[in-house]
């Protein structure tokens, strides 16, 4: 009876369709927000044009046929970086999409706030990008690959003025710092405030092109700013920065009486500033 069920053709057909659909969905998720997705759409349009040209556009049909005949080689050449990243992602977390736990997000956001508050008190410039839905892989490739857990000490050491990576920005994906020394597109809007420096314009520029959250610590004033959706909020303290991050990342806020919460961070940092 069991063998008869397994040999039933519809079961295998259903399983086949589900696996193919899952693979296509997984590939699209890996390409989401990248330029590779635009190239993929271009390929789809060429394929559609190829079938349309079969109705009488013989020259165009021949040209597209020669081009699409080498499609495998072309795909490997154009998507080599994305293929490498995809295979590495599968190796780290087989058959699972991006899954993040609220508690871990809360913990790494606290580490970011601690680092930003520390650098603001000492007027150390910093630029921190946090990936959300749109991939920042194109900007990760520009910088120096790190792939380390988010920690206050590591962020501060990267932006130390004596560090060779302090001029660029860091990119955080999940709870890991994937890149340092990355450069982001500058916002060129003439209506922006004239006192905004390169870091602030880079933060706004990246938040315009993607849905990333970008934290800026001003080297001149020690102010903390947060850019999201092309808008920048300036003059944040540790508490307001943490609250904004939690809201934008969709994380439940911790209890106010939590001993190691942001209020304690702020009081500690203000105490250190007063002592210095």
Q: Which domains does the chain have, with CATH numbers?
A: 2-92 (no CATH), 102-275 (3.40.1700.10)
Which one has a higher pLDDT value, 141 or 227? Answer: 227
In this structure, are residues 124 and 156 in contact, taking their beta carbons and an 8 Å threshold?
yes
- Going by C-alpha positions, the residue among 196, 173, 36, 13 that lies closest to residue 93 is 173
Dihedral angle, C-alpha 216, 218, 222, 226, nearest 10 °: -20
Which range has the worst mean pLDDT, 39-53, 191-205, 262-276? Answer: 262-276
Q: What average pLDDT does this structure show over 137-144?
A: 83
First and final CA of the chain: distance in angstroms? 80
**Residues of the chain above pLDDT 70, percent:** 74
pLDDT at 84: 66
The pTM of this model reads 0.60
pLDDT confidence bin for 274, thresholds 50/70/90:
very low
Which one has a higher pLDDT value, 117 or 43? Answer: 117
In the block, residue with structure tokens 């995809």:
86
Q: Which two tokens stand for residue 150?
A: 């988010």
Which one has a higher pLDDT value, 274 or 10? Answer: 10
pLDDT at 81: 63
**Residues of the chain above pLDDT 90, percent:** 20
Element (H, E) at 76: helix 71-78
């Amino acid at each position: 009876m069991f063998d008869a069920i397994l040999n039933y053709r519809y079961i295998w057909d259903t399983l086949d369709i589900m696996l193919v659909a899952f693979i296509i969905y997984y590939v699209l998720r890996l390409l989401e927000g990248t330029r590779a997705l635009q190239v993929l759409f271009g390929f789809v349009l060429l394929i559609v044009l190829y079938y349309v040209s079969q109705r009488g556009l013989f020259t165009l049909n021949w040209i597209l046929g020669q081009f699409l005949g080498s499609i495998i080689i072309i795909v490997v050449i154009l998507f080599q970086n994305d293929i490498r990243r995809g295979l590495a992602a599968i190796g780290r977390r087989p058959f699972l999409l991006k899954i993040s736990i609220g508690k871990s997000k809360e913990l790494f956001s606290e580490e970011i706030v601690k680092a930003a508050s520390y650098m603001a008190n000492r007027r150390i410039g910093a630029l921190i990008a946090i990936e959300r839905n749109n991939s920042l892989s194109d900007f990760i490739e520009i910088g120096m690959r790190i792939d380390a857990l988010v920690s206050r000490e590591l962020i501060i050491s990267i932006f130390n003025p004596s560090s060779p990576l302090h001029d660029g920005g860091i990119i955080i994906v999940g709870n890991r710092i994937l890149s340092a020394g990355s450069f982001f597109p500058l916002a060129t809007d003439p209506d922006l405030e004239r006192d905004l420096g390169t870091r602030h314009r880079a933060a706004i520029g990246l938040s315009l092109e993607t849905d990333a959250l970008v934290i800026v610590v001003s080297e001149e004033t020690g102010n903390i700013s947060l850019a999201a959706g092309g808008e920048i909020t300036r003059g944040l303290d540790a508490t307001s920065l943490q609250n904004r991050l939690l809201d934008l990342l969709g994380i439940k806020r911790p209890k106010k009486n939590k001993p190691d919460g942001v209020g304690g961070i702020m009081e500690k940092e203000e105490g250190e500033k007063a002592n210095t």
